[in-house]
A and B are shown apart, each in its own frame.
Chain A
Amino acid sequence: MSIPKLEVAGLTKEYRDGAVIAVDNISFTVESGETLALLGPSGCGKSTTLNMIVGLEQPSSGDIRIDGRSVVAVPAGRRDVGLVFQDYAVFTTMSVRDNLAFGLKVRKTDKAVIRREVYKTAEFLGLTDCLDVRAGRLSGSEQQRVAIGRTLVTKPALLLLDEPLSNLEASARPVVRRELRRLQQELRLSIIYVTHDQTEALSLADRIAIMHHGKIIQAEETLRIMQYPGHVQVARFLGSPPMNILRGRLADAEGGVQFTHAAFSVLFPACALPGGVRERGPDKQYALGFRAEDIILVPPEQGLWKGEILSVEIRGSDAVVNLNSHGSLLQCVVEHKRKAAPSAGLPATRNAGAPDIRPEPEKEGLPATALRAAGANPPASDVFSLRTSTLVGLALAPENIVLFDGDSNLRLESAFVPKQL
């Protein structure tokens, strides 16, 4: 087995003699050619972790190994890691060429080599036309490219990106994300990508480590962590909107297991619940999780339980419906489809065989588009107007329910979660 590019073991950072624990005994690896995202809200310890890997801060305990060699005692400049900051930090008065050459000049690299490497990097990043332009005159995304290029030119073993897109305009971000993906593919770099934005982590990382209060609460392949969050905090952090979580108790009941929430209860067939759920009783808390995309809205009398529509937020191809269900805010995603135009001069006809889920003619308050619950094709009779204050029924397929232990917040193993994707 090959040695990981980076190995972090039991890393801890305390401040004020342990009064503040910024990073709490975390361990993870970055394999060669892999991108790991450290994802979490501000203040969760991700930047402190990065600073310790770079050598800007000394760990209170734990080890950091690059290519199998401990670097804790190695000074910051000699760890063979490249760091790109959120605010670019390019030398604005220097030309792009001098910015790119900087790291090599400091290392007293041969001039011909510098020239060749600078040009190669500029070519790769599409900066050849502005090599002689002062970096301060470039746009934000161009400056960020210069900052990345300046780091790449020195060929670090590990590239650390600290919120590299946060300062860019919204419209530039998808473009820079695409460039970073190309970089990953063509150069097979080993990268740690620190961000609070799940879009960036999902878009760029092979694996995501979610940090919360200084701890890594889950680290897993990007696709898997999204599908099977292992912790309530992960479930609440990923997804837009994030997973709905309801806390309550379980009790055996006729025909299944009763989940009782503060103000309502739902009977689930026993097969819908994880095998390991044994503990019952008034003191044992469970948390029920289900995705906004998996709720199916039905007429009130047909639902597992009911909710009142608070608001409908149109997103484009779908809409988020905010519901008040017995005092809990639940969110649900419904697909939004443009209605077909009637054939010119002819009355609208249905295409035989095509599922028709258009709503009845416009009612007051109904968005002028067809709306239907995503993830399933409810029969035509299920279509109703999504109007504020309307009472709707909520339905949910049992396989879309995730159960968490209410005390540890950890997911309980379920027959529905495959071991491997």
Chain B
Amino acid sequence: MTATAADAAPGAPVLEARELSKQYGRKTALDRVSFSVPPESFVVILGPAGAGKTTTLRLLAGLERESGGDILMDGRSVAGLEPKDRDIAMIFDNLALYPHKTGFQNMAGPLLERKLPREDIRRRVDAVAAKLRVEHILERLPKTMSGGERQRIALGRALVRSPRAFLLDEPLSSLDAPLRFELRSELKRLQREEGHTFLMATPDFTEALAVADTVLLLRAGKIVQASPPEDLYDYPADCEAALFVGSPQIAVLQAEFREGLVHCAGLAFPLPAALEDAAGHMRRAGPDGFLLGIRPENVRVLLHSSSESGTDGRTGGIPGARDCSVGQVTDIESLGLQSVITVCCGREHLRMLCSVAQRARIRIGQDLTFTLADRERLTAFDRVTRRNIIRRADGGRVFEL
């Protein structure tokens, strides 16, 4: 039996994992993971090495047997189905080509095996080759192609088929950065234009944010967060998610709420709207307070004798409020048009972005004044659970308090 689109339950996701678990001996690789991949969507499993990404893909492909839970394709369980009967294509990192075959022969391989009519094969290969911009090298042997061209042919080889779903396991990780950026945007374009359903695993958050409709953040065999890419950045589920996504990295600092003000890294300011109804929660947290997540782009460097204004004017007049604070510069890293300045403020380290012009005036070891660009863009976490406690712009929450 083969699961095909023909007998798909209407509206059902192409792939669905229900409470999926995998044990290797006494080690739990995957712990009751549930998610779904809707038709024509690009879902990315993001996580560090060892999180369970490849295990998840292998279970879905049928290359390994799950220890618990169920896998559904188009609403029907595929438990017990052989990999070849699941109508899934898996694409790996090390995409190999046959050295003695031309680009065309390499790409046509999977179709030739199925004994499709010649014209159909030609048409299909040409169409995919056009999408991947490799029409001009179809008659050449792999050894005469550049690394990028070989990788495109290899991807093309997988993409000439039209299975219900593609599982991609770090397909671009062995490529140089410029080529990786180029190919990932082509993968995304191809997926959308052809209406493919993609589930891709990657340890690289930039890749996940760039291509995903939905990101599943996997950590130690559990899904920590499943959200659109911009939400992963704006509303990370917990401290670790915030630290994992974003470069330069977010600073997570100790903060306290007392006498109506948030105190953190020498700053004191009124409670951001996103934290207003978490105030009671923070007071309960006692003198240790809570954790404040400050992204580098939300901190502004203030250099004297410049026209920049230090205050946003909103804390003016509030007794005890401090718009600016001072820290000692411990590191400067250039990113090109911007630099990341790290300052040490008490026991805390804070990162901020500055322009080339500002950077030219900053030295390691000096004291630097800084302010928050916008306190409404802060993120906050419970000190004990480390979970996000802010309210979203739509009024909802990442976690209920």
Residues of A whose CB lies within 8 Å of any CB of B are 41-42, 169-171, 174, 177-178, 181-182, 185, 196-199, 202-203, 222-223, 226-227, 238-241, 291, 293, 310-311, 313-317, 320, 322, 336-344, 351, 353-354, 367-369, 388, 421
Query: A367 to chain B: which residues have CB within 8 Å?
Result: 228, 230
Query: B393 to chain A: which residues have CB within 8 Å?
Result: 338-342, 368
Interface size on B, residues (CB 8 A): 59
The verdict on A314 contacting B210 (CB below 8 Å), with A336-B230, A342-B393, A368-B231 known, is: yes
Given contacts A313-B210, A388-B192, 9 further A-B contacts (CB under 8 A): A196-B176, A240-B181, A311-B192, A315-B206, A341-B376, A343-B273, A344-B391, A367-B228, A368-B230
The answer to the question of B335 belonging to the interface, with a C-beta cut-off of 8 Å to chain A, is: yes
> Closest B-chain residue to A370, C-beta based?
B393
The answer to the question of B6 belonging to the interface, with a C-beta cut-off of 8 Å to chain A, is: no
B230 touches A369 (CB 8 A): yes
Q: Closest CB of chain A to B340's CB: distance in Å?
A: 9
A341 touches B390 (CB 8 A): yes
Segment at the A interface, from B66-74, B102-110, B112-120, B243-251: B243-251
A314 touches B364 (CB 8 A): no
The answer to the question of B189 belonging to the interface, with a C-beta cut-off of 8 Å to chain A, is: yes
The verdict on A185 contacting B364 (CB below 8 Å), with A344-B277, A369-B234 known, is: yes
The verdict on A313 contacting B185 (CB below 8 Å), with A341-B393, A344-B273 known, is: yes
In the bound assembly, the distance between CA atoms of A394 and B393 in angstroms comes to 29
> Closest A-chain residue to B235, C-beta based?
A338
Question: Among A199, A240, A317, A343, which residue has its beta carbon within 8 angstroms of that of B276?
Answer: A343
B209 touches A314 (CB 8 A): yes
The verdict on A342 contacting B333 (CB below 8 Å), with A169-B49, A171-B48, A174-B249 known, is: no
Q: Closest CB of chain B to A139's CB: distance in Å?
A: 12
**Which A-B residue pairs are the 8 nearest by beta carbons?**
A341-B274, A339-B393, A313-B210, A340-B376, A338-B234, A344-B276, A317-B297, A343-B273
> Closest B-chain residue to A242, C-beta based?
B178
Query: A202 to chain B: which residues have CB within 8 Å?
Result: 334-336
B313 touches A353 (CB 8 A): yes
Query: A316 to chain B: which residues have CB within 8 Å?
Result: 205-206, 209, 233, 245-247
In the bound assembly, the distance between CA atoms of A177 and B48 in angstroms comes to 20
In the bound assembly, the distance between CA atoms of A341 and B204 in angstroms comes to 29
> Closest B-chain residue to A225, C-beta based?
B336
A341 touches B360 (CB 8 A): no
In the bound assembly, the distance between CA atoms of A161 and B69 in angstroms comes to 50
A181 touches B337 (CB 8 A): no
> Closest B-chain residue to A317, C-beta based?
B297
> Closest B-chain residue to A226, C-beta based?
B336
Of A169, A315, A320, most buried by chain B (CB within 10 Å of CB) is A315
Query: B18 to chain A: which residues have CB within 8 Å?
Result: none
In the bound assembly, the distance between CA atoms of A310 and B248 in angstroms comes to 27
How many CB-defined contacts (below 8 Å) exist between A and B?
Answer: 129
Question: Among B234, B314, B360, which residue has its beta carbon within 8 angstroms of that of A351?
Answer: B314
Q: Which of B297-317 contact A (CB under 8 A)?
A: 297, 312-314
B206 touches A177 (CB 8 A): no
The answer to the question of B377 belonging to the interface, with a C-beta cut-off of 8 Å to chain A, is: yes
In the bound assembly, the distance between CA atoms of A238 and B204 in angstroms comes to 21
B188 touches A311 (CB 8 A): yes
Query: B205 to chain A: which residues have CB within 8 Å?
Result: 316
> Closest A-chain residue to B332, C-beta based?
A181
Q: Closest CB of chain A to B331's CB: distance in Å?
A: 6
B204 touches A170 (CB 8 A): yes
The answer to the question of B239 belonging to the interface, with a C-beta cut-off of 8 Å to chain A, is: no
Q: Closest CB of chain A to B174's CB: distance in Å?
A: 12
Query: A291 to chain B: which residues have CB within 8 Å?
Result: 337
The verdict on A314 contacting B233 (CB below 8 Å), with A223-B359, A342-B395 known, is: yes
Question: Among B49, B228, B392, which residue has its beta carbon within 8 angstroms of that of A341?
Answer: B392
A181 touches B333 (CB 8 A): yes
> Closest B-chain residue to A335, C-beta based?
B297
User: Would you give the 0/1 interface string for B249-263, flagging 1 where the beta carbon is closer than 8 Å to chain A?
Assistant: 100000000000000
Q: Which of B346-401 contact A (CB under 8 A)?
A: 356, 359-360, 364, 374, 376-377, 390-395
The answer to the question of B229 belonging to the interface, with a C-beta cut-off of 8 Å to chain A, is: yes
B185 touches A322 (CB 8 A): yes
Query: A41 to chain B: which residues have CB within 8 Å?
Result: 176, 178
Query: A241 to chain B: which residues have CB within 8 Å?
Result: 181
Of A41, A196, A240, A353, most buried by chain B (CB within 10 Å of CB) is A240
Question: Among B185, B203, B273, B277, which residue has its beta carbon within 8 angstroms of that of A340?
Answer: B273
Q: Closest CB of chain A to B200's CB: distance in Å?
A: 14
In the bound assembly, the distance between CA atoms of A222 and B356 in angstroms comes to 10
Q: Closest CB of chain A to B169's CB: distance in Å?
A: 16
Query: A171 to chain B: which residues have CB within 8 Å?
Result: 48
In the bound assembly, the distance between CA atoms of A385 and B61 in angstroms comes to 37
The answer to the question of B295 belonging to the interface, with a C-beta cut-off of 8 Å to chain A, is: yes
In the bound assembly, the distance between CA atoms of A320 and B206 in angstroms comes to 11
A342 touches B273 (CB 8 A): yes
Query: A177 to chain B: which residues have CB within 8 Å?
Result: 333
In the bound assembly, the distance between CA atoms of A318 and B393 in angstroms comes to 18
Query: B176 to chain A: which residues have CB within 8 Å?
Result: 41-42, 196
In the bound assembly, the distance between CA atoms of A46 and B104 in angstroms comes to 35
B234 touches A223 (CB 8 A): no
In the bound assembly, the distance between CA atoms of A343 and B203 in angstroms comes to 36
Query: A182 to chain B: which residues have CB within 8 Å?
Result: 331
Query: A338 to chain B: which residues have CB within 8 Å?
Result: 234-235, 377, 393
The answer to the question of B1 belonging to the interface, with a C-beta cut-off of 8 Å to chain A, is: no
**9 pairs of residues in contact across A and B, judged by CB atoms under 8 Å:** A174-B247, A222-B334, A226-B356, A316-B206, A317-B233, A338-B235, A341-B272, A343-B273, A351-B312
Query: B276 to chain A: which residues have CB within 8 Å?
Result: 343-344
Q: Closest CB of chain A to B233's CB: distance in Å?
A: 5
The answer to the question of B211 belonging to the interface, with a C-beta cut-off of 8 Å to chain A, is: yes
> Closest B-chain residue to A199, C-beta based?
B335
B48 touches A197 (CB 8 A): no
Q: Closest CB of chain B to A73's CB: distance in Å?
A: 36
In the bound assembly, the distance between CA atoms of A170 and B245 in angstroms comes to 12
Question: Among A199, A315, A388, A421, which residue has its beta carbon within 8 angstroms of that of B209?
Answer: A315
Query: A315 to chain B: which residues have CB within 8 Å?
Result: 206, 209-210
> Closest B-chain residue to A224, C-beta based?
B356
> Closest B-chain residue to A343, C-beta based?
B273
> Closest A-chain residue to B49, C-beta based?
A169
Query: B364 to chain A: which residues have CB within 8 Å?
Result: 185
Query: A351 to chain B: which residues have CB within 8 Å?
Result: 312, 314
Query: A343 to chain B: which residues have CB within 8 Å?
Result: 273, 276
B333 touches A314 (CB 8 A): no
B337 touches A293 (CB 8 A): yes
B230 touches A227 (CB 8 A): no
In the bound assembly, the distance between CA atoms of A34 and B118 in angstroms comes to 62
A226 touches B273 (CB 8 A): no
Of B48, B233, B246, B390, most buried by chain A (CB within 10 Å of CB) is B233
Query: A337 to chain B: which residues have CB within 8 Å?
Result: 374, 377
Q: Which of B270-327 contact A (CB under 8 A)?
A: 272-274, 276-277, 295, 297, 312-314
In the bound assembly, the distance between CA atoms of A315 and B206 in angstroms comes to 6
In the bound assembly, the distance between CA atoms of A196 and B248 in angstroms comes to 20
Q: Closest CB of chain B to A244's CB: distance in Å?
A: 14
Of A170, A223, A239, A341, most buried by chain B (CB within 10 Å of CB) is A341
Q: Closest CB of chain A to B69's CB: distance in Å?
A: 30
Query: B188 to chain A: which residues have CB within 8 Å?
Result: 311, 313
